[in-house]
Chains A and B, each alone.
Chain A
Amino acid sequence: DGGITQSPKYLFRKEGQNVTLSCEQNLNHDAMYWYRQDPGQGLRLIYYSQIVNDFQKGDIAEGYSVSREKKESFPLTVTSAQKNPTAFYLCASSTTYPGQGARTEAFFGQGTRLTVV
């Protein structure tokens, strides 16, 4: 089955720890994204990647880092610098990055719920 797999589904972090959220896709998509979702709000873009070995900051990148060493994988690290990391994190991919002129929808994983304890 083609799709996007996020792991783990639930993650608990102690104050001052870095944690890494996994995102893998087998859709052969070039573009991948990380969003943060808080209750009562729409999705906010953290980072995106148009192609392997390239990524760009989104609207709320502070306290987060990413890498894109393989086309299929786009892990997100929530660092200790992120002051309020408790949220639902969604990874997505699309065939191309929309800014390249293609009007394309995004496909989503099932999300990771991160809680600071």
Chain B
Amino acid sequence: AQSVTQLDSHVSVSEGTPVLLRCNYSSSYSPSLFWYVQHPNKGLQLLLKYTSAATLVKGINGFEAEFKKSETSFHLTKPSAHMSDAAEYFCVVSAPDSNYQLIWGAGTKLIIKP
């Protein structure tokens, strides 16, 4: 069965330092993978998506993620954190073994220290 695991419930970094939010998935097939961001009491916004093209995917606001099939990972990174990046981030997987339903991770709350 398909699943997605976000390895950290909270990540805290200082402004100007790199960000790493980790996501692992399980699927018997080649999945589509997405990262969404949610600011407090707001809806979700798509940051980036992987759909079997380039394995390094660039998104909005300077974020990028790399699809690593051998590690079944899709970690989200940003070289330099900004205060406005403080939010909750969700990793999502979609694949044939769940009829392409969107399967959501539990979320990682990113905290930015001044």
Interface, chain A (partner B; CB < 8 A): 4, 6, 40-45, 88, 90, 92, 98-103, 105-111, 113
Contact = CB atoms under 8 A, between A and B. Distances in A.
B83 to A, nearest CB: 22
Given A6-B43, A99-B99, A103-B100, 15 more contacts: A4-B43, A40-B107, A41-B106, A44-B104, A45-B101, A98-B100, A98-B101, A99-B101, A103-B51, A105-B49, A107-B46, A110-B42, A110-B43, A111-B43, A113-B41
B90 A90 contact: no
Given A105-B46, A111-B43, A42 B100 contact: no
Most interface-central of A88, A101, A108 (chain B CB within 10 A): A108
Interface of B: 9, 32, 34, 36, 41-46, 49, 51-52, 90, 94, 99-102, 104-107
A90 B88 CA distance: 15
B107 A42 contact: yes
Majority-rule SS of B interface residues: loop
